[in-house]
Amino acid sequence: MTWISATFDLPTVRFFWVEEVGEWSLAWLTFIGAALGIRRGTHFAVNLVIDRFPATLRKTVLAGQCLLIVAFGALVAVFGWQVAELNSQSFSPALDLNLRWLYLSSVVGGVLMVVYGLITLGDVFAGRGAWGQLSGDSG
């Protein structure tokens, strides 16, 4: 764009805001994507050991895993809220947006992890969905 502006004697167009848009998008997409991965059961897992367990033990292990996910999501949401509040008086240099909105991505992601973790826990006990199929009796 600098070359085009110079060639046609146009005022230069500055793209200093592009980096911030990328950072903000990455933060929001990461936390929301992590929560969606929990719900869909698409996170990386090695089930080599757990597949050898009896169905009741496998269900117990998966339920414990769901509870750990819920606890992790709650921690992310609580500490994310604290960080958002600490940065509530700061603004991004290029976009001039309150940085609270950037750090609220962790709060939203953490809350979604808690909600999806609890739904997934229900799936484990009901034997439905991606997580419930893992806890079913495989023969």
- This prediction has a pTM of 0.81
Q: What is the CA radius of gyration of the chain?
A: 22
Kindly indicate the confidence band of residue 24, based on its pLDDT and cuts at 50, 70 and 90. Answer: very high
Digit-coded pLDDT (tens) for 92-117: 888 889 999 999 999 999 999 999 99
Locate the domains of the chain by residue range.
18-135
Residues 6 or more apart from 83 whose CB is under 8 A from it?
Answer: 103, 106
Digit-coded pLDDT (tens) for 42-70: 887 778 888 898 989 999 999 999 999 99
